[in-house]
Structure 1
Amino acid sequence: MASQYNRWYHPYEINDKYKKRVAYFCMEYGIDQALKVYSGGLGFLAGSHMRSAFELRQNMVGIGMLWKYGYYDQERNEDQTMRPHFQQKFYSFLEDPGITVRVLVNEHPVLVKALVLKPEVFGTVPMYFLTTDIPDNDHLARTITHRLYDPEPQARIAQSIVLGIGGAKVVEALGGAEIYHMNEGHALPLAFKLFEDYGKLDEIRKRLVFTTHTPEKAGNEEHDIHLLHRMSFFNGIPLEEVRELTAMHGQMFDHTLAALRLAKVANGVSQLHGQVAREMWYDNEGVCEIKAITNAQNFNFWTDRKLWQAQERDDNQALTSRKEELKRQLFKVVANQAGKLFRPDVLTIVWARRFAAYKRADLLVRDMQRFVDLVSNKEMPVQVIWAGKPYPFDYGAINVFNKLVKISQQLDNVAVLTGYEIELSRKLKHGCDIWLNTPRRPREASGTSGMTAAMNGGVNVSVQDGWLPEYARNGENSFVLPIADTSQPNEVQDNEDHNNLMRLLEKEIVPIYYHNHDRWCHIMKQSMRTVVPQFESNRMAHQYYEELFNS
């Protein structure tokens, strides 16, 4: 153990396998409940990566944004429907290392201050969070780092400039890096800062790697190239040179495509997503190789140790007893929020993740009478919990959330929870019997929440999308739906998936839970044993060095 922090504040001697200096850029990180700078899966994934990089003693720092209002606080109106609330956050555990850099936004100078999260606070590599909300900036500049995923396009562009160019300058102040990793395309201006420093595309490619996280159009941003140029997105590079560098000759500038042309190598976040990404992008000239490195989550952070030890001892009684205790802890939240007393001996289904249309939070209630019959069976009752944050300006997703709230008000054993952040996520994964995952295939790139549920004996019931095809053995460690015909319209796919889901619950899952306890315990244990180490983030953090950083 090093007696002093080095310039990157690593409190350890670097492992020889991971000596290359890597700066990891991401717009959000889910590190701890106390640090609200994330919205969902991308942040949870990045947080686990930072923890595993620390555990493996990697030579890495994280670069992120210090969001003054976080994502948002999910609150309720008088009728229990959802209300987004933006409240200022304060963090006493972030330290000032004395680093302030200057970027241009709209050709106006903006100062960017970095605050450091040292490794001993939450067990991560050193992380630097950037803010423009300092007295030396004017009001407009100060607002750049106010809201994660601001709905205003120009604010989003400014945020990318701060993360990419400001972050690169912070890394310079720390002594530089050999590899710059863009975790999603938000930090793309970083590439143009590297071009300023090194002057050649080949030199950028030596240093830049890229991870694409979604096949969704909303996650692959495009903007008018003239707007980006006016806003200083390209770091002062003349527009014709930008077009030559990125092979972008139209009016709309595709951030993901540009990243794939500027990086030396890229990756999708599951084997299926890697295949989908190659099909999406390989027809475009000049894109780099797109590998597949499946996402993973950090075992030490997410797993209940007593439950894990019961699994290791192969002790069904201890496993069942601990799971029921974890359910009681979750059900205190249900009682507090919904005024309902759930029972620990009742099969409990949880659907919890970001609310987005393709994730189909309401697939379970597509046939309302059939749903009521499922949860109201006196001999084999079922409890259902929904939780998750819609994007605060996605009114369609908010309407789905509110529809489920209205349904829950009519049924004693159905609840919708607000405040889906790390601590509630942990309780839901510890306390669920079934972790339900219902995206339209193949639109879920990875879906890491199911991994942490599996680490805690939550049995995945899922569409075969994202990471599931690599993990699932139907009836052995999970239950998977037959693959729907994706050539059919959404309505037809949804009907097919709904019917298959309900049949699976009614005919297999619920009867096994109530009438074949030994088999249920076997499935729980297999869910835990087959998720680690393949879907544990130390494997992932190692693989990034092997396949991206050292390539």
Structure 2
Amino acid sequence: MKAIRRFTVRPVLPDPLRPLCDLARNLRWSWHAETRELFQAVDPEGWRASGGDPVRLLGTVSAARLGELARDRRFLRRLTAAADDLDDYLHGRRWYQSRTAGDRAAGDRTAGDRTAGGEAADEPPAAIAYFSPEFGVTAALPQYSGGLGILAGDHLKAASDLGVPLIGVGLLYRHGYFRQSLSRDGWQQEHYPLLDPNELPLTLLRRPDGAPVRVGLALPGGGSLHAHVWVAQVGRVPLLMLDSDVEENGPGERNVTDRLYGGGSEHRLLQEMLLGMGGVRAVRAYCAVTGHPAPEVFHTNEGHAGFLGLERIRELTDRGTGFDAALEAVRAGTVFTTHTPVPAGIDRFDRELVARHFGPGAELPGVDVGRVLQLGRETYPGGDPGVFNMAVMGLRLAQRANGVSTLHGAVSRSMFAGLWPGFDPEEVPITSITNGVHAPTWVAPEVLRLGARRIGAHRAEDALSVGGSQRWDAVADLDDTAIWELRRELREQLVHEVRARLRASWRERGAASAELGWIDGVLDPDVLTIGFARRVPSYKRLTLMLRDRDRLREMLLHPTRPVQIVVAGKAHPADDGGKRLVREMVRFADDPRVRHRIVFLPDYGMAMAKKLYPGCDVWLNNPLRPLEACGTSGMKAALNGCLNLSVRDGWWDEWYDPDFGWAIPTADGPTTDEDRRDDLEAHALYELIEQRVAPRFYDRGANGLPERWIEMVRRTLASLGPKVLAGRMVREYVERLYTPAARAHRAMTPDAAGELAEWKARVRAAWPGVAVDHVEVDEVSEIAELGSTLALRVRVTLGDLTPEDVEVQAVAGRVDTRDGLADARAFPLKPAGGGGPDQQGRWAYEGPLTLDRTGPFGYTVRVLPAHRLLTAGVDLGLVALPADSAADGAGVLLR
């Protein structure tokens, strides 16, 4: 029989235990060991059964046990200490508060430090709204699929630790992402358990009269999509999650937030409209209800949330601002982060579908739908005029954009260069901030305790959350024996975890207990352990290690230097190719000859990862370079003393060092055949493991310790530790993106936005008349001396523009064999007369050009738009160059 109605019965805690509710509802417990230990003490067996979820735990504790705890003075003292610690964490001063103007002496500020409105120009934003389609905060709130969501969760947690006033915005998926199991023959199977928000660490956002806050979207044909707003408290950071499963919606609309990355094209479009547009409306409602400062900066984590810019434009146009001025105002305070290194990873919708949802009778009725469609139009060569590109819209709606590693920033600039025609990819305005991971979440308690014994608990906590190389330098003094005993302890814990999960998996696959005695011998706590776990798209190459199966078996079964491998990963439910890779790996791991040395664990998620990273000795990553945007799993492993063995992609490309890891050589040239490339890189992987990794692990000194291996572990912790922190990442976002965006937002008053919009329109209209007419230079031989200076004289036609509208630059640098400029720098030239009535808009410019490097050297001249409110001259994508690259003096060489 089925129940005709479902509801949740909450426990009533005795008054002395009421603080447990606050501790359970704030997700800080997910990275705060003392709070988790307190909940474990409530009911150790119930804690294990709940999967370490305090909300579920409190729903199962008996009244008798609660009464016993309410009389337990020792427990109550621990409870009071935990509650006081949380209160201090939530309300105490942290890193961000030290950056506010209130902490700087008034005498340190000059008139130039203030905007027209009177506030300090470099004042960090009062609040930032951070939008993401998924958030991986804790396994108890399963709203993530992979790296993007885990990164978003770590971003919120690090912001909380630093005191950054962030508001997270996402969707509440009633089925989350799928749970993975395996059939008897190893085929991935998906399960979608129903999540009840009342049983999750969430609170429904309500108005002062107690009514739930509801946001809505207008649908074509006169319908509406409604959503409630649930709030997860992530330390100091509220995470707003929109839920369409409400009674006001019809069946189709109720299912909009059913699954993460599920459904067809229109379903995804509605999800992204609700995330972006509904998310802004939820933020406004949250700030109105709670008094939280309104965000000055909006950060869209990948293109899924890009519609937030359209909602903010609507807010301004409803108040009488023109579309173009509203666009400038919105761009000023928007940050866009791209995570994909390939066009195929970007959401693209049919233009007609988008037009229907933003046309008359639907959303943005007062905005010309053609203007909306233009924002997502692929205007670059090879672009599809029939699609609406979410990443393209994200870039057009944001004044600041970034990739998530140095290499990914370069890949992104090349991938989107067509949006800035006439500029080299190096000048495309996409910077990079390399991702980081939230160490308090991912560092094993045993590792933290070892650090605490060395430098003290408070300094160890600061080292993990705030960073600072000085705190991490203390690792150099850790005793070899202590490090090696820690590594073995963590490896042994992983062995027990793997056996338990493997047994549960085989039972799901239909095996009887009597068949599973062999599992007691799976893995060995004294054998070199390699981990490989991630999503399973083809480019991550789950099965590269299987290219030569006989050779892999020899490594696994080596008599003196054996290797054991733990593999996990999910393929997208619609990706049959990825599922075939999973089955291929499972079938190899099922082989009785090697199944004690290699295992595949289904249902990879945060709970598994927290055991996997610390317990592995080596973390393997072998994507197709450069298709890994960042690859943060190796960062989490490194924080636990696990060494990286990886292709030089993502973060490993910039921070690899042979002192603490290995780089797999690549064969990623444009002419390399795909199968040949995989064969070569698999061979290189085998060589590294056989010749360098395994020998170093098993090379023991007179004291029985692998001293060189331990030194690599020590260097990993000391050198990579402070770099890979999410605290370092969020500080970079604050300093390099959020604060400049807030400054631009404050400067973009309605009058300034209107001025900039009118100026851009005028410049675009006049730009066809702009030209570089003539370039001349002092006579110079083909061979010039380093440090000498050339006097450049340039004549340009500006047409209807004036020198105040442009900047004329000399661009100089090394030249390649095709006379292309590399490592170039721009030098402004100064007006030197012209522009009179009889000169038809012609102007003269001049300036010095210093020959500051040896070798082949060249220069050119260009004209760019210039305005005080532009972040860069490339912003408009307009440039005028000499018609003939061989103009007088151009291309001079210095050898």
Q: Give the TM-score band, short-chain normalised.
A: over 0.9
Letter paired with 1:528: L
Distance, in Å, in 2 between the alignment partners of 1:11 and 1:462 is: 42
Displacement of 1:469 in angstroms is: 1.6
Deviation string for 1:395-451 (max 9, x for gaps)? 111111111111001112110001211110111101001100000000000000000
Match of 2:707 in 1: 518
Q: Could you say what secondary structure the match of 2:650 adopts?
A: coil
**Number of equivalent positions:** 542
Query: Which amino acid letter does the alignment assign opposite residue 23 of structure 1?
Result: A
Deviation at 1:82, TM superposition (A): 2.1
Describe how 1:25-64 pairs up with structure 2 within 5 A: 25-64=131-170
Distance in 2, Cα, partners of 1:337 & 1:299 = 25
Q: Distance in 2 between matches of 1:459 and 1:151?
A: 39
Q: Name the aligned partner's letter for residue 276 of structure 1.
A: V
Are the equivalent residues in 2 in contact too, given 1:384–1:414 (CA < 8 A)? yes
For 1:107-141, what per-residue CA distance to the aligned partner results, in whole angstroms no more than 9, with x for missing partners? 5211111111124xxx3511111100111211111
Which of these residues, 200, 224, 235, is aligned with residue 92 of structure 1?
A: 200
Alignment of 1:207 with 2:333, yes or no, is yes
Q: Tell me what 1:547 maps to.
A: 736
1:467 to 632, 651, 657: 651
- Unpaired runs of 5+ in structure 1? none
Counterpart-to-counterpart distance in 1, 2:219 and 2:300: 20
1:231 counterpart = 2:357:
yes
Query: What residue in structure 1 maps to residue 827 of structure 2?
Result: none
Report whether the alignment pairs 1:115 with 2:230.
yes
Map of 1:104 onto structure 2: 218
**Any idea what SS the aligned residue of 1:37 has?**
coil
Letter in 2 for 1:524: V
Is 2:405 aligned against 1:270?
A: yes
1:92-171 maps to which residues of 2 (within 5 A)? Answer: 92-98=200-206, 99-106=213-220, 108-119=223-234, 123=235, 125-171=237-283
* Amino acid of the structure 1 residue aligned with 2:353: L
Q: Is the 8 A contact 2:303 2:394 kept in 1?
A: yes
Partner of 1:485: 668
- DSSP 3-state at the match of 1:240: helix
Question: 2:205 is aligned with what amino acid?
Answer: P
Q: Could you tell me which amino acid in structure 2 is paired with residue 485 of structure 1?
A: D
- The aligned runs of 1:9-408 (5 Å cut-off) are 11=91, 15-17=97-99, 18-90=124-196, 91-98=199-206, 99-106=213-220, 108-119=223-234, 123=235, 125-175=237-287, 176-198=294-316, 199=323, 200-232=326-358, 235-236=364-365, 237-245=367-375, 250-285=385-420, 289-308=429-448, 309=450, 311=475, 313-338=477-502, 339=519, 340-408=521-589
Q: 1:60 to 1:337 in 2, by over 3 A?
A: closer
Deviation at 1:147, TM superposition (A): 0.3
TM-score, normalising length: structure 1: 0.94
Q: Note if 1:504 corresponds to 2:504.
A: no
Deviation (angstroms), 1:314: 1.6
Cα shift at 1:307: 2.6
Matched, 1:444 2:628: yes
Q: In 2, distance between residues paired with 1:520 and 1:413?
A: 21
1:189 Cα deviation from its structure 2 partner: 1.3
Unaligned regions of 5+ residues in structure 2, if any? 1-83, 100-123, 207-212, 288-293, 317-322, 380-384, 422-426, 452-474, 503-518, 701-705, 741-895
For 1:273 and 1:89, how far apart are their aligned partners in 2?
35
Kindly tell me: are residues 112 and 10 of structure 1, through their superposed partners in 2, closer, same or farther at Cα, counting changes over 3 Å? farther
Q: Distance in 2 between matches of 1:141 and 1:218?
A: 28
SS at match of 1:467: helix
Report the secondary structure of 2:200's partner residue: coil
Structure 1: which amino acid aligns with 2:189? R
Q: Which stretch has the larger CA shift, 322-331 or 248-257? A: 248-257
> One-letter code of the match for 1:60?
L
| Cα distance change, pair 111–493 in 1 and its aligned pair in 2 (3 A) | same
- Give, in angstroms, the shift of residue 490 of structure 1: 2.1
Are 1:453 and 2:568 counterparts? no
Asked which structure has the greater CA Rg, the reply is: 2
1:11, distance to aligned residue in structure 2 (A) = 4.4
Report the 3-state secondary structure (helix = DSSP H, G, I; strand = E; otherwise coil) of the residue aligned with 1:530.
helix
SS of aligned partner of 2:720: coil
CA drift at 1:288: 7.1
Query: Does the CA-based 8 Å contact 2:141-2:200 persist in structure 1?
Result: no
Match of 1:71, SS state, is coil
Q: Within 1, Cα distance between the matches of 2:633 and 2:371?
A: 42
Change over 3 Å in CA distance of 1:392–1:321 after alignment to 2 = same
Residue 613 of structure 2 corresponds to 429
Is this contact kept in 2: 1:189–1:235, CA < 8 A? no
- 1:485 and 1:241 map into 2 onto residues whose CA distance is 41
The aligned amino acid for 2:280 is A
Given residue 184 of structure 2, which amino acid in structure 1 is its aligned partner? Answer: E
Q: Which amino acid aligns with 2:433?
A: I
Residues 444 and 610, structure 2, Cα contact 8 Å, conserved in 1: no
Residue 546 of structure 1: how far off its partner (Å): 1.3
Do 1:436 and 1:462's aligned partners in 2 also have CA atoms closer than 8 Å? Answer: yes
Task: Assess, with a 3 A threshold, how the Cα gap between structure 1 residues 73 and 246 changes in structure 2: closer, same or farther.
Answer: closer
SS in 2 for 1:523: helix
Distance in 1, matches of 2:604 and 2:214, equals 33
CA RMSD of aligned residues (A): 2.2
The residue that corresponds to 1:537 in the other structure is 726
What whole-Å deviation, never above 9, does each CA across 1:155-209 have from its counterpart, x for those lacking one? 1111001100110001111333211110000011111111112232211111211
Q: Percent identity?
A: 33
Paired with 1:443 and 1:376, the residues of 2 have a C-alpha distance of: 33
Paired letter, 2:386: Q
Deviation of the 1:79 alpha carbon: 3.8
Code of the residue aligned with 2:351 in structure 1: it is I
Moved more, 59-68 or 236-245: 236-245
Q: CA deviation at 1:12?
A: 5.0
Distance 1:372 1:353 in 2: 23
Checking the alignment, whether the CA contact within 8 Å between 1:307 and 1:319 is kept in structure 2 is no
Match of 1:289, SS? coil
Q: Is the Cα–Cα contact under 8 Å of residues 90 and 236 in structure 2 kept in the other structure?
A: no
Partner amino acid, structure 2, of 1:39: S
TM-score normalised according to structure 2 size: 0.59
- Per the TM alignment, residue 83 of structure 1 is displaced from its structure 2 partner at its CA by 0.9
Q: Secondary structure at 1:171's aligned position in 2?
A: helix
Compute the displacement of 1:532 (Å). 1.9
**One-letter code of the match for 1:292?**
S
Q: Distance in 2 between matches of 1:500 and 1:124?
A: 47
Distance 1:57 1:226, change over 3 A: same
Q: Aligned in 2, Cα 1:248/1:483: closer, same or farther, shift over 3 Å?
A: closer
CA–CA separation in structure 1 for the residues paired with 2:363 and 2:145: 27
Please tell me whether the aligned partners of residues 165 and 190 of structure 1 are also in contact (alpha carbons under 8 angstroms): yes
Could you say what secondary structure the match of 2:300 adopts? strand
Kept after mapping to 1: 8 A contact 2:355/2:373: no
